Amino acid sequence: MDAIRIDVISVIPGFFDSPLSNGLLNIARKKNHAEIYIHNLHDYGLGRYKQVDDSPYGGGAGMVLRPEPVFACIEALQAEREYDEVIFLTPDGVLFEQAMANRLSMMRHLIILCGHYKAIDERIRQNLVTMEISIGDVVVSGGEIPALLLMDALVRVIPGVLGDSESALTDSFQAGILDSAYYTRPAEFRGMKVPEVLLSGHHGKIEQWCQENALERTRQRRPDLLDRVELEGYKKK
């Protein structure tokens, strides 16, 4: 299976240096499961100072990314290969969820456009962007942090990236609900004991406990998930 290629467009490309050199994204690259390229939007900027932003028409605070540099960068990339999606990270996009990460992980070529300043020119969204994603009801200083979150969630489900491939399949949200509680040694710590069933070695009972615990945690912490997900192998109570 060919490695997924992700091209990230940013006005602060150095932001990605450490994350791409450490942790899971670095592992995915070293194992040739992912190719990640960071493009400096200022390379396509205008004039002597490589300008990429300007004040908004109609007035108001903040700056807006100009269309010329973004069009030039994305069109240069698209001239080299066909992309499955051109993703823009924005608070008014579709909420990023595990199912979306799973779907994107199976694609071959992605562009991620990181916004910055106040906004981007609407013509970019109307003509270049094919997918708009939000990481939640929160505003951050730019699209770089959401881009890292998206890439991490995406590459970790690619077979072969994690040392234990089953680990990703048992994470929260993979079955549509939260994961169960976990314990490790010692079996008793400061009077707090691990549930006996987890020490029993009875795989059937352990699996049942994990399912029931996951469902109860979801009911307590994220009941909204139970209203909008089809529970496979679980029973609503």
pLDDT in tens, 158-204: 999 997 554 555 555 566 889 899 999 999 999 999 999 999 999 99
Q: What is the DSSP letter of 174?
A: T
Contacts of 60 (CB under 8 A, 6+ apart): 118
Contact between residue 38 and residue 10 where contact means Cβ atoms under 8 Å apart = yes
C-beta neighbour count of 110 within 10 angstroms: 22
Q: What is the pLDDT of residue 121?
A: 97
pLDDT at residue 52 tops 70: yes
pLDDT at residue 219 tops 50: yes
Structure tokens at 25: 């994204």
* Structural domain that includes position 213: 171-228
Mean pLDDT is lowest, of 68-72, 125-129, 153-157, 176-180, for 176-180
8/105 same-domain check: yes
138/218 same-domain check: no
Contacts of 50 (CB under 8 A, 6+ apart): 42, 43, 44
Does 34 reside within a domain?
yes
20/133 same-domain check: yes
pLDDT grade for 89, boundaries at 50, 70 and 90: very high
CA 155 to chain centre: 9
125/178 same-domain check: no
pLDDT grade for 2, boundaries at 50, 70 and 90: confident
Can you give the pTM of this predicted structure?
Answer: 0.85
134/215 same-domain check: no
Contacts of 3 (CB under 8 A, 6+ apart): 32, 33, 34, 35
What's 48's domain CATH number? Answer: 3.40.1280.10
Q: What is the pLDDT of residue 10?
A: 98
pLDDT at residue 114 tops 60: yes
Does 235 reside within a domain?
no
Q: pLDDT digits over 61-76, tens only?
A: 999 999 999 999 999 9
Question: Could you give the CA distance from residue 105 to residue 16 in angstroms, rounded to a whole number?
Answer: 20
Q: Compute the average pLDDT of residues 125-145.
A: 95
Does 14 reside within a domain?
yes
What's 176's domain CATH number? Answer: 1.10.1270.20
Give residue 172's identity as a one-letter amino acid code.
S
pLDDT grade for 1, boundaries at 50, 70 and 90: low
Does 122 reside within a domain?
yes
145/191 same-domain check: no
Contacts of 227 (CB under 8 A, 6+ apart): none
Does 58 reside within a domain?
yes
210/113 same-domain check: no
C-beta neighbour count of 143 within 10 angstroms: 25
